Structure 1
Amino acid sequence: MLDVIIKGLEHNGLITAFAFVGVIMWVSVVLSRRLTFGRVHGSAIAIVIGLVLAWVGGTLTGGQKGLADLALFSGIGLMGGAMLRDFAIVATAFEVQATEARKAGMVGALALVLGTLLPFIVGACVAWAFGYRDAVSISTIGAGAVTYIVGPVTGAAIGASSEVVALSIATGLIKAILVMVCTPFAARWMGLDNPRSAMVFGGLAGTVSGVTAGLAATDRRLVPYGALTATFHTGLGCLLGPSLLYFVVRGLVGG
């Protein structure tokens, strides 16, 4: 009987993945309420659990895809892929009211620019401090500080090594977790109580997952607005990282 159930789950990998992630989210929400009284959002806890499970899966199989290397959880590879991720990000934009979005105006545009340039500069300085002296590595790690999507996109475009690309992803992931966890605590100080401030915050913070989870823990009505500018932030970073920003770094440090 158990073998029949396991085979059924393996043959319906995507459905199994949705059910498994649903259980993880339920456990995370319970932990959030019971242990942190809602101060740390369930999404942040779920990401930590996911990272641990990915490490366990990679250790058990010696593979490169975490739990997705196990036949039972192969559907997680599809569910966590770019297709469904991008679909979820785009779907949030349909909840935005155009009249509210326009209120961000030039402040929102300036937040996008600053939210791209400042993290890149910080990431590039950290890369320099840790001994990286070539423009490719510095630019890739700097782009990772923008978001963990911009980092690998930039690295792939300018020919960074896999180790440097991995560092850029790790940098962006740390940033995303920090934004998730810290946003509810700093929301009152930052005035995160209206769509305009949420859009400015999304442009400055940049990381879609971090902004979405952080705003969800603060005020769920603000999530679409923060996610909208954060999505533009990722696109802007992917455009500037392997082009203008890379050439600026190359001009400063050489090839």
Structure 2
Amino acid sequence: MARFKKLLILLAAAITGSGIPVFSKIVLQTLNPEEMMTIRLFVAWLVFLPWVWKSLPKKFSDWLAISLVTLPAVINMVLFANGVQFTSATMAQLIYAFSPIVAAVIVVIIGQEKLTRGKISGIAIGFFGMMILLVPSINLQTANTLIGNLKGNGLLLIGMICWTIYTIASKPLNNRFAAQIISFNLLVNGFLANFILGGFRIFSPEKLGQIPLSTWGWIVYLSVVCSIGFFSLYQLSIKLTSAVTTSIMHYLTPVFTFILAAGLLRESL
């Protein structure tokens, strides 16, 4: 039963995270990357605050410890928002599918986790299985659209490495703090970073008034499902399993993203 619960959490994380590149690209048609991330994360931590208020750390040292761990994920947020506008939603998730391999290399180097033959086989089978499912669906006419350009993919590649570092670094932190507290800290710090980088302009009445109602719907979905939901489930999976096991989720998200992108962004299957 416990094993099934862990698998269910991992699957839920994959599903809630799969919409991030798709809905981000839709919102980016109206807002710039920093504005999109600022309003998305502002709504997210504002909605999340009542649920975690009583459990928030009281010591500044605790906040600092969590913030240092979430810093790579904050950098990933900035890079992702700027990179995804130059490539396809599907390609964005395919780049993050390399996270389990990067995570496996890092945990072995730092000695955080021992990789059994089963885990190594799982990583290899998962990666090649994902590629077998997706690659045949890409024809020569749509390849350039899906692949995107070097700038966008380069930003996403660096972002993926930062996200993987966050995944690994947050494992020890889960022994001290609840998953939702780490996730809340990430939302707040991500908001502050994007706000400072220029996202503050989104709060002008004129700018807010220019956002279509449909775009507000995607922003709310990104805030609640793709931010609160995904980040919390991701951290909970790390707490219950390991960094490498949780990162395997990135083999599942491209499949769901591919389906969403085909319907909403007309990215051909």
Place the TM-score, normalised by the shorter chain, in its bin: 0.3 to 0.5
Tell which has more relative contact order, 1 or 2 (C-alpha 8 A, sep 6+): 2
**Largest Rg, 1 or 2:** 1
User: Taking structure 2 as the reference length, what is the TM-score of the superposition?
Assistant: 0.34
